[in-house]
Structure 1
Amino acid sequence: MRLPDAYIILFVFLVLAAAATYIIPAGEFETEESSEGIDVIVPDTYSVIDSNPAGFLDIFSAIVDGLISTSNLIFLVLIIGGVFAVIEKTGAIDALVTKIIRITRNKEWMLIMLVMIIFSIFGTLGIIVNAVIAFIPLGIILARSMKMDAIIGVSIIYLGAYTGFAVAILDPLTIGFAQQIAEVPLFSGAGVRVVMYTITLIATMAYVIWYANRIKKDPSRGILKDNPFPKDSNDGSELGRQEMKPKHILVLLALLIGIGAYVTGVFTAEWNLEEMAAVFLVVMVATAIIGRIHVNDMVTTFMQGANSVLYGALIIGMARSIVVILENGMILDTVVNFMAVVTEPFTSTMGAIMLFIGNGLFNLIVTSGSGQAAIVMPIMSPLADIMGFPRQIAVQAYTMGDGFTNIITPLSGVLMANLAIAGVPYTKWIKFALPLVGIWYILGIIYIIILVAINWGPV
């Protein structure tokens, strides 16, 4: 028996989504355009409409629509994959890994913490969330240098970024947008969120370090067992030999300046994925000049790098196709209305917890942070008023509900792309990630209980 490919798993979900359009009644809320030009739901306007079930051809058309609607992210992944291949050709990545290995020799926990903290900061600011895919190869290199497995390689990059994203502090597309819909002061409550972010990050790092120590002592106890790097036959013996040279420093400095320029653009000029792709192309040209790489070699290397992440890039569109089917079948609003009906009888603490858990379940279907905010926040905000707790808590319930299940839903194109690039089977990842999601939910429920107790509002 062979485990099904990630594309096959997603296609099965696509067929199930199409079947759901025949079972779940179609319905819709009235919407109004926000100041950002995004349609948000008007509460208490849900009505049943004529069903629009998906036909046979619609299933395959949804795949095309999914690829088209996520084309900016797909091309970003391809571009960054190609750019990193050019950077790697200069030896700068190997030199950096060598330096890190020497600094953290016999202190793997320090390396894991350092990388996860850096990416969690990016995540909590909303800088590198979807684009985290491009850094997975670096995580795999670091995992090989520590003689661990691909799950650790994915974890130190992906879990680092998504821990920050799940307890976002200054992410304009999730926490900022949700607060605007809830009519809560923009980025208010940052001080309390810093505390929650810190606790959640510490718990996540502790879990990853626990698993790392487990396989360090006995590799057979790893989830991937005798095949720690399914997509990489290299044993990592060549790592730690590249000396840092002036050209390596300049290449890494160009990359750092590029990322810094993008971060600045996000907060000052509302830059998006397109600008990020452009910045990385500039970094590639600078890298080729510094590394004295011939233009023809630069193009060849870029194509090889892009090809190496093509499988993971296209899976983003495949995951999106499932949401396309649900949207075209007009059943997403029905699910949201069901959530509203179920949670309305609850009051205060239990109600807030139900909103948190309910939104986590909804996130298994709709994994877009800003898209989910536009759907659920207009419902959750008045529900918070009815159940007697501040809207700030509803915003937090949405943020954690959106973030905590991102790392296990097969409908997340980012997750499936990460796993595809690393060669980690989805079933193996679930075995590793489910206990962590349980830890996160326990923490989330504790946070909600405390926040309701202190009547946490805009601060």
Structure 2
Amino acid sequence: MNQPAATGQHKRHGALDPVLMMLAAMAFAILLTWIIPSGQHQRVSEKENAPVIAGTYKMLPKPVGIDSVLPGKAPPGEARPVSPVALATSIPEGLKRSAPLIFMILALGGMFGVMRSTGALDAGIQRLIGLSRGRMVILVPLLMLAFSAGSTFLGMISEYLLLIPVMIALAERLGRSRMFGFAIVTLAAKVGYLASVTSPVALLIAQPIVNVPVFSGLGFRLAIWLTFLAIAMLYALRESRIVAEPAPIEDQRLSPRHLAILLIAGATLALLVIGSLEFGWDDGEFTALFLTAAAAMTFAAGIRASAGISLFVEGMKAMMLAALLIGMGRAVEVILREGQILDTIIEAVSAQIHGLSPVLVAPIIMLVEMVLTLLIPSTSAKAALSIPVLGPIGAAAGVSGQTTVLAFLLGNGLVNMLAPTSGMLLAFLAAAGIPYNRWFRFAAPLFGILTLLSIGALMIAVLIGY
């Protein structure tokens, strides 16, 4: 089976290097702190991602001089543009703040390294092909429905890094392109996250801010999800043309050893979901789960402990680029927070909404969230920062809290399909060995279609009093 391309395989001439892209995003963020005035809202607590208090924005003096080029902290009651030195210093800070997620991703890579070496993955893929006879009209809808359901109902995103190499291997075994395998996972996950029918990641934070019950209004979001997912399925099937000689379709039964390893993988995925929903597990517990699963797979495969450790380390190496990109994505947020310009951006845009029709205000809120998503890919941080300000402004224009949350979800989900500042998207691409510019060309038309449909959905939401 082909190795995952997280270490740089399959690069093509003219491909955009993801690390250079993140460095460019960081440099642009630093530049913004020199151009945009600084200001801040009061917050309900001292926590970094605590919700802001609407109507409390105040400008901060930001003297700019030669001293600003050097790193340093602003005096109390003032702001300071971010020093260009932060292009280096913010990376370790971003890595530190993302450490739990990074360790989880590395452990996931290690577990996958062990699993891949056993041949169970090849056997499982061959069995799946045999059962479906390789028919795309069966495989694609079933797989995308399953992946998207995990995303829209449970908020799963980073967990799908595990499945990207699997789907790429499946696509190549069927003679299809790597992009096809990647799209099956990524489009399904992104559409699911966009709708967030019951996703706790977004709704547990966003809905209480505007005083609506958590998970309420799911019927309309469910309709959006099913519509958008059907479009994404058709879009993925467009990429299902044969580009190489498919492997022979053989319906071979799994050996007891391969079956045991695949059952361990399935149990691991089930525990991810149960642990997250029932016991509040987070990245730390997920890391421990992947370590345990890797040990169990090593035992089930009859691999010596020392060899199993070597395979685990090799698998971790394949995820190093993905881990670095996630830390660099967080570094962009670190820079913008240090320059204290995020509140200014929200306040400036919010002031332009007053007096407009609610049918126009709802899509504008979505567009504001799309801009913010380029700057802050984190869903929870963006909800705490923007909804307390945009919610009351939307309400004054006649937009309900439920529709404001929907605008937030759609804006956040749409841009995270393409955002070059999204460390998770770049981690997905790194795991697949697909250049960003190639993904952009592939996904941009779908992004345009879903954006127009999202605007229409928000207008309908206002008209029906959602």
TM over 0.5: yes
Partner of 2:292: 282
TM-aligned CA distance change 1:3 to 1:255, over 3 Å: closer
Q: 1:364 is paired with a residue of what secondary structure?
A: helix
User: What's the offset of the Cα at 1:237?
Assistant: 4.9
> Is residue 232 of structure 2 the alignment partner of residue 244 of structure 1?
no
> Is residue 28 of structure 2 the alignment partner of residue 16 of structure 1?
yes
Partner of 2:42: 30
Partner of 1:225: none
Partner of 1:45: 56
The answer (yes or no) to whether the contact 1:29–1:46 under 8 Å persists in 2 is yes
What code does the residue aligned with 1:186 have?
V
Residue in structure 1 matching 2:94, options 42, 56, 66: 66
What code does the residue aligned with 1:335 have?
I
Partner of 2:106: 78
What code does the residue aligned with 1:44 have?
G
Where has structure 1 moved over 4 Å in runs of 4 or more?
A: 235-243
The answer (yes or no) to whether the contact 2:43–2:52 under 8 Å persists in 1 is yes
Partner of 1:301: 311
The 5-angstrom pairing of residues 426-441 of structure 1 reads 426-441=436-451
Separation of aligned partners in 1, 2:420 and 2:111: 28
TM-aligned CA distance change 1:59 to 1:356, over 3 Å: same
User: What's the offset of the Cα at 1:408?
Assistant: 0.6
User: What's the offset of the Cα at 1:246?
Assistant: 1.7
CA RMSD, Structure 1 to Structure 2 (Å): 2.0
Residue in structure 2 matching 1:445, options 455, 463, 466: 455
> Is residue 216 of structure 2 the alignment partner of residue 188 of structure 1?
yes
Separation of aligned partners in 2, 1:6 and 1:313: 12
Separation of aligned partners in 1, 2:195 and 2:281: 22
The answer (yes or no) to whether the contact 2:16–2:436 under 8 Å persists in 1 is no
Q: 2:89 is paired with a residue of what secondary structure?
A: helix
Separation of aligned partners in 2, 1:148 and 1:57: 45
Deviations 1:230-262 (A, max 9, x none): xxxxx8759969751122222222222222222
> Is residue 363 of structure 2 the alignment partner of residue 335 of structure 1?
no
The 5-angstrom pairing of residues 152-231 of structure 1 reads 152-212=180-240, 215-216=241-242, 219=243
Partner of 2:388: 378
The 5-angstrom pairing of residues 340-351 of structure 1 reads 340-351=350-361
Q: 1:411 is paired with a residue of what secondary structure?
A: coil
Separation of aligned partners in 1, 2:81 and 2:251: 59
User: What's the offset of the Cα at 1:104?
Assistant: 2.4
> Is residue 418 of structure 2 the alignment partner of residue 390 of structure 1?
no
What code does the residue aligned with 1:143 have?
A
The answer (yes or no) to whether the contact 1:94–1:240 under 8 Å persists in 2 is no
Q: Which runs of 5+ in 1 are unaligned?
A: 220-227, 229-234
> Is residue 125 of structure 2 the alignment partner of residue 97 of structure 1?
yes
Q: 2:82 is paired with a residue of what secondary structure?
A: coil
Deviations 1:190-248 (A, max 9, x none): 22221111111111111111232xx43xx4xxxxxxxx9xxxxxx87599697511222
Q: 1:39 is paired with a residue of what secondary structure?
A: coil
Separation of aligned partners in 2, 1:239 and 1:316: 38
> Is residue 121 of structure 2 the alignment partner of residue 111 of structure 1?
no
TM-aligned CA distance change 1:325 to 1:239, over 3 Å: farther
The answer (yes or no) to whether the contact 1:28–1:46 under 8 Å persists in 2 is yes
User: What's the offset of the Cα at 1:339?
Assistant: 2.2
The answer (yes or no) to whether the contact 2:44–2:50 under 8 Å persists in 1 is yes
Separation of aligned partners in 1, 2:345 and 2:449: 26
Separation of aligned partners in 2, 1:251 and 1:161: 25
Separation of aligned partners in 2, 1:237 and 1:196: 37
> Is residue 158 of structure 2 the alignment partner of residue 130 of structure 1?
yes
Name the count of aligned residue pairs: 437
Q: 2:352 is paired with a residue of what secondary structure?
A: helix
Deviations 1:293-333 (A, max 9, x none): 21111101111111112112211111221121111111111
Deviations 1:102-128 (A, max 9, x none): 122241232222221111111112342
User: What's the offset of the Cα at 1:24?
Assistant: 0.5
